[in-house]
Amino acid sequence: MVDHAKTATAVLTGVGGESNITSMVHCATRLRFVLKDEGKADAAALRATPGVITTAQAGGQYQVVIGNDVPDVYAAIQAQTKLGGAGSEGGEEGPKGNLFNRFIKMISAIFTPILWALAGTGLLKAFVAAAVTFGWLDATSSTYVILNALSDALINFLPIALSITAARYFKASEFTSFAIAAALVYPSIVALNGQPDITFFGIPVTMVSYVSSVIPVIIIVWLQSHAERFLLKVLPGAVRRFLTPMIVVLVAVPLVFLAIGPLSSLIGGGLAAGIGWVFQTLPWLGGAIMGGLWQVFVIFGLHWGLVPLFQLEYQTTGQILLIGPVFTAVLAQAAAVAGVLVRTRNKNLRSLAAPATLSGFLAGITEPAIYGINLPLKRPFAFGIVGGALGGALIAMGGVFSKAFVVPSGLALPALLGNGNMVMLAIGLAVAVVVPFVLVVVFGFKDPVDATAPATAAVATDTVVRNPVDGTVAPLSEVPDAAFADGSLGKGVAVRPTSGAVYAPFDGTVVAAFPTGHAIGLRGTDGVELLIHVGLDTVKLGGQHFTLKVQSGTEVKTGDLLLEFDGEAIEKAGYDLITPVIVTNGDLYPDVADVASGPLSHGETLFRAVSVDALTTAR
């Protein structure tokens, strides 16, 4: 096993140290450095480093060829330095897709660094709530106050945590983002929530609560990133470093108070009025809306517009009908993530789903479940909406209500007991839990590929690799790139494409769909791993002229379309279109045989990947 940290240290030394590096990215197989002085790089030392295959210099880049482990070495270098940005060359955006997919990708990226902390504190919150419910802990004691603060602080100050991760995502100043978010949840600002006649330099301000909010801080940090880039360009060098954060904070925070707050309040108020009317005329529909869409309202911060309606209903009638269906919304998302826990084969996802399930069911803390699992996977989130809507409709039809405002959760269910039709309550809760759980388990989702999972351990037979792209077969030795030509990256062949489509050469899974579209990594059902690299140095095109049709984790069948490319445009841009097709797990498939030659259509046999078991048997 290669020690990636040691490899990273040796690579850094070999290229002349961090101070000699202008930028660093990685592609499918190699680290790509732009060095200040390439003369300081020690090629011999680099090639002798365990984990390094070879080096190359091309296109103004100093390339260190690593192979399959390049993301791990890249991450190790990042951990040791301040180098690296979005990750693989071409950035993290990948194919743009529709607006909804881009929104989910952004939310997931911003939440990922804090998911484990959210899951851990959410689980602690569930245990504290359980201790109070069962009488093991006095809610008036100082012990409870301390434990409650420990478990509740991250959720309470969530905008501050998100300001840091959002700043990293949008490449804004982290501490300026921190200052903006901290102002939103500053105690004296929170105290202004709901008070009348609030103004800012005479401008009326509708103050709303930003505690636990998500969207406002993400929007304002995105705007901050653009403002900072502009100010750093136009302000004089002597003052730009301190004037930029001052101006940004001075503009950004009032902008939230004057625009984002009133807008969310207006939309939330409209939703509250509409839902209140629906509950009076068609209770089942109101319950379905609350049960199905409550978590969507929470994502966009619109639920705050409904909280005053809860309070108004309680002040007027002494009960809250609207809150019953919210229980189904919370429990349905918890049940959906429980389905993921049962269904997924991804160890990392399973380890996150376990505490997210408990904190969702017991304490009603659904952030780890929604942002870390259900929303990125899409189907579980949608199934949760279905279950919440059905359960909410049944509970509303039963006239179930609460005599107190509580945070909906499994441990808070006693607030509903004895209030309304208990049979309908039981049925509604059962439906909210069972429906999404069953839907997730039965219909599944696109399970992320576990990067740590080993390939199939036992490889008994060779694997036929079919030609992925129409063209003329050529030996790897004709590829004008040493790392491919000498077989350092793996055995295989090259194809000179005559069409602009790449197809799956066998049944398997996409393990690497590079955002730039220039390369695809596949793993066959029997364990063979293959890299299809369209053209040489085409990563520099940044995705231009490439259209991905799959993503990492996609299961494919032989002949499925993987990507399309404009070969003529790529060649006009000055790139060699020759396409290496190589086996990358040479420990299990050390050789190829029956290699085709001449013109070949996609789907025809290209070569046979010879397994180590077959070689051993032959000997």
What phi, psi does 199 have (nearest 5°)?
-135, 160
Distance CA 267, CA 206 (A): 13
Question: Which is the catalytic residue, given 4, 303, 533, 545?
Answer: 533
Distance CA 339, CA 444 (A): 9
Structure tokens at 438: 């069953």
3-state secondary structure of 542: coil
H or E stretch including 586? none
Q: In what order do the strands lie in the sheet with 519-524?
A: 555-556, 508-513, 519-524, 529-533, 579-583, 492-497, 471-475, 598-600
3-state secondary structure of 521: strand
Question: Which is the catalytic residue, given 27, 303, 518, 602?
Answer: 27
533 is catalytic: yes
Cβ neighbours of residue 284 under 8 Å, at least 6 residues apart? 393, 394, 396, 397
27 is catalytic: yes
Query: How would you label 23-55 residue by residue, b for 16+ Cβ within 10 Å and e otherwise?
Result: ebbbbbbbbbbebeebeebebeebeebebbbbb
In order of 156, 193, 210, 554, the CA distances from 187 in angstroms are 12, 10, 11, 47
Which residues are paired to 521 by β-bridges? Answer: 512, 531
Query: Hunting for tokens 């996977």 — which residue is that?
Result: 377
Structure tokens at 374: 């259900």
Distance CA 353, CA 372 (A): 9
Query: Hunting for tokens 């919210």 — which residue is that?
Result: 326
Cβ 510 vs Cβ 522: under 8 Å? yes
Cβ 554 vs Cβ 447: under 8 Å? no
Dihedral angle of Cα 20, 23, 26, 32, to the nearest 10 degrees: -50
Cβ 464 vs Cβ 603: under 8 Å? no
In order of 103, 354, 461, 464, 595, the CA distances from 531 in angstroms are 30, 34, 20, 15, 16
Cβ 381 vs Cβ 446: under 8 Å? no
What letter represents residue 85's amino acid? G
Q: Which residues carry out catalysis?
A: 27, 533
